Homo-oligomer: A and B are copies of this chain.
Amino acid sequence: MNIDLSMYDVRTDLALEAKEIATQAQSAGEIPGVWSETDKADGIILTRMHIQTDEAAQKIGKMVGHYVTLEVPELRQGDTTLQDKVATSFAREFEAFLKRIGITEKSSVLVVGLGNWNVTPDALGPVVVENIMVTRQFFELMPDQVNPGYRPVSAVAPGVLGTTGIESSDIVQGIVQNSKPDLVIAVDALAAKSLDRVNTTIQIADTGIHPGSGIGNKRKGLTQEILGVPCIGIGVPTVVYASTIVNNTMDMVFEHMKKHTPDTEPLFGVFGKMEETERLQLVREVLNPVGHDLLVTPKEIDKFMEDIANVIASGLNAALHEAVDTDNVAAYTH
């Protein structure tokens, strides 16, 4: 339960949102040094983004690297056909990541589930790990008998600082040193900028997990620099700050009323003309002292978490093992 209340700000863990904010902030259209494309199909909005230059990275506040975002507004409806489609899309995009960073079909992989088992919206990583098809032990114990189409995959959930007393990155570092995977995949729950992203959006990034991102106070990240091997980060927003809900709703209220009254000054006065960050600051000033600026989560979070964790685990199992696809993968998850 170790939330660092000081750390949240306009910054978001989603590169997609960060780019939107940066683009809004500058009036001159697209940001140079950022390539992106968007596909819409089957209820899935798929955005591939490449932050190519340090300037772009600084402007957006995200590392140079590749990012893929799957937005699936209907994902909370519990439709298993849609879930299967998302898992398949996820697997296809993930395979492209593996290829791009030179991970072959033989390379060994360690899947790390960050977060806290005992706090439902923070349990994304541990639940995904529980559904990963783990095979490394067979390659270690009886390498000759492993069927083709599989690679060595291991999976751990290192826990969080508040329940282990040890930084999760220190635990993962030790495991990487002793088990020597070629790639680390880190799955983590994120804080979202808006309630409609909660459990509907998945981000893949080849930049790993950075300090201070995710739920909980991570003081060290999981990156190639720290681990010595590449690290792909997978994130899903599962919580949102109460202050963010308020601020976003205010925006929507203003937009809504502007449609009817061109001159909004008499409508909202000085308040309506504040900068977004200034207004967010004000909202926090009001909420924090009374302890109201909680991280909140939808009431049905238990079911939502189960669904999206299964989507990611199915997608990963299919992407990591050639012999597995999202049709037969259900056998390995529950």
Q: Write the residues of chain A forming the contact surface with B, with a CB cutoff of 8 angstroms.
A: 1, 3, 80-81, 118-122, 130, 134-137, 152-159, 161-166, 170-171, 173-179, 194-196, 215, 239, 242-243, 245-246, 249-250, 252-253, 256-257, 264-272, 282-283, 285-287, 290-292, 294-303, 306, 330-331, 334
Contacts of A252 in B (CB 8 A): 286-287, 290
Residues of B within 8 A of A264 (CB): 269
B166 touches A175 (CB 8 A): yes
A154 pairs with B166, CB closer than 8 A: yes
Q: Is the CB of A295 within 8 A of B299?
A: yes
Chain B residues with CB below 8 A from A194, complex form: 292
Bound CA span A161–B156, Å? 10
Q: What chain B residues lie within 8 Å of A306 (beta carbons)?
A: 334
In the bound complex, do residue B156 and residue A119 qualify as a contact, i.e. CB atoms below 8 Å apart?
no
Q: Is the interface of A mostly helix, strand, loop or mixed?
A: helix
Is B292 within 8 A of A249, CB to CB? yes
- Say whether, besides A292-B196, A296-B195, A303-B119, A249 and B164 are in contact (CB < 8 Å): no
Chain multiplicity (copies)? 4
18 chain-A/chain-B pairs, Cβ below 8 angstroms = A118-B130, A121-B299, A136-B166, A155-B165, A170-B179, A171-B179, A173-B174, A174-B175, A195-B292, A245-B245, A249-B283, A266-B270, A267-B270, A268-B271, A271-B272, A295-B298, A295-B299, A296-B298
Given contacts A118-B130, A118-B302, A174-B174, list 14 more A-B pairs with CB under 8 A: A3-B299, A135-B165, A137-B165, A154-B165, A156-B159, A156-B166, A170-B175, A171-B174, A174-B177, A174-B179, A242-B249, A257-B271, A296-B297, A297-B299
Report the bound CA distance from A118 to B328 in whole Å.
23
Interchain CB contact under 8 A, A175 and B165: no
Across the A-B interface, the 3 shortest Cβ-Cβ residue pairs: A174-B174, A136-B165, A154-B165
Given A245-B242, A266-B270, are A179 and B153 also a contact pair (CB < 8 Å)? no
Is B249 within 8 A of A287, CB to CB? yes
Q: Indicate which residue in B3, B134, B161, B246 contacts A163 across the interface (CB closer than 8 Å).
A: B134
CB distance from A49 to the nearest CB of B (A): 24
B1 touches A303 (CB 8 A): yes
Chain B contacts of A157 at CB under 8 A?
159
- Nearest-neighbour CB distance to chain B for A47, whole angstroms, equals 20
Question: Within 8 Å CB of A1, what residues of B?
Answer: 300, 303
In the bound assembly, the distance between CA atoms of A257 and B281 in angstroms comes to: 13
- Residue from B135, B163, B170 within 8 A of A155 (CB atoms): B163
Candidates B122, B153, B257, B267; contact of A299 at CB < 8 Å: B122
B contact residues around A179 at 8 Å (CB) = 166, 170-171, 174
Closest to A279 in B: B253
Alpha-carbon gap, A58 to B169, bound state (A): 42
Asked if A174 and B165 sit within 8 Å, CB to CB, the answer is no
A290 touches B159 (CB 8 A): no
| B300 and A119 within 8 A (CB) | yes
Contact A299 B134 (CB under 8 A): no
Q: Which interface residue of A161, A171, A243, A249 has the most chain B CB atoms within 10 A?
A: A249
Q: In the assembly, what is the distance between CA of A295 and CA of B122, in Å? A: 18
